[in-house]
Structure 1
Amino acid sequence: MMVTDKGQVTIPKALRDRLGIGPGSEVDFEQQGDAILVRKATGAPSRGARIAERLRGRGDVSMSTDEIMALTRGD
């Protein structure tokens, strides 16, 4: 298996199928000696959930919903 200049490798389809890894799946990497263990992440929040949690409570705009909608519509 070849590592790209971005550090990427392709997980073989048979292995992805066995592990239930599809597009958007989260995976964990663990070093064991000189080997790397790859497993499907379980119980961990998704990337989207982590981003949403980090942004939660940051909306400090003092505008009403109607004012924000007018801006987005170009009124």
Structure 2
Amino acid sequence: MKAVVAERGQVTIPKPLREKLGIRPGTALEFTAKDGALVARKAETDPVSQVFGCLGKRIDSDKFVRDLRGNQE
């Protein structure tokens, strides 16, 4: 499969490869060069960082409960 590099350095990964490898919007990739080839792989995710990242977000607890219960009026 071939792809063309756009003016800003962007490349579209062909759909069959995205589907086969489970690459979706927001998937982080790591790029390396090996033996003259560009190698892309899914970036490793640190589960601890993911948990602490979501804990750092501030939420309105009253709004959260209202949204959770739905409109009961």
Gapped runs of 5+ residues in structure 2? Answer: 57-73
Q: Secondary structure at the match of 2:19?
A: helix
Structure with bigger RCO (C-alpha 8 Å, 6+ apart):
1
Gaps of 5+ in 1: 57-75
How many residue pairs align between the two structures?
49
TM-score with structure 2 setting the length: 0.56
1:41-65: CA deviation from partner (whole Å, max 9, x where unpaired) = 122567xx5xx9xxx8xxxxxxxxx
Q: Which residue of 1 aligns with 2:42?
A: 40
The alignment's TM-score, normalised by the length of structure 1, stands at 0.55
The CA distance in 2 between the partners of 1:40 and 1:18, in whole Å, is 12
Say if 2:25 is the partner of 1:23. Answer: yes
CA RMSD of superposed structures (Å): 2.2
CA distance in 1 between partners of 2:23 and 2:11 (Å): 14
Q: Which runs of 4+ in 1 moved over 6 A?
A: none
User: Which amino acid in the other structure matches residue 30 of structure 1?
Assistant: T
Identity %: 41
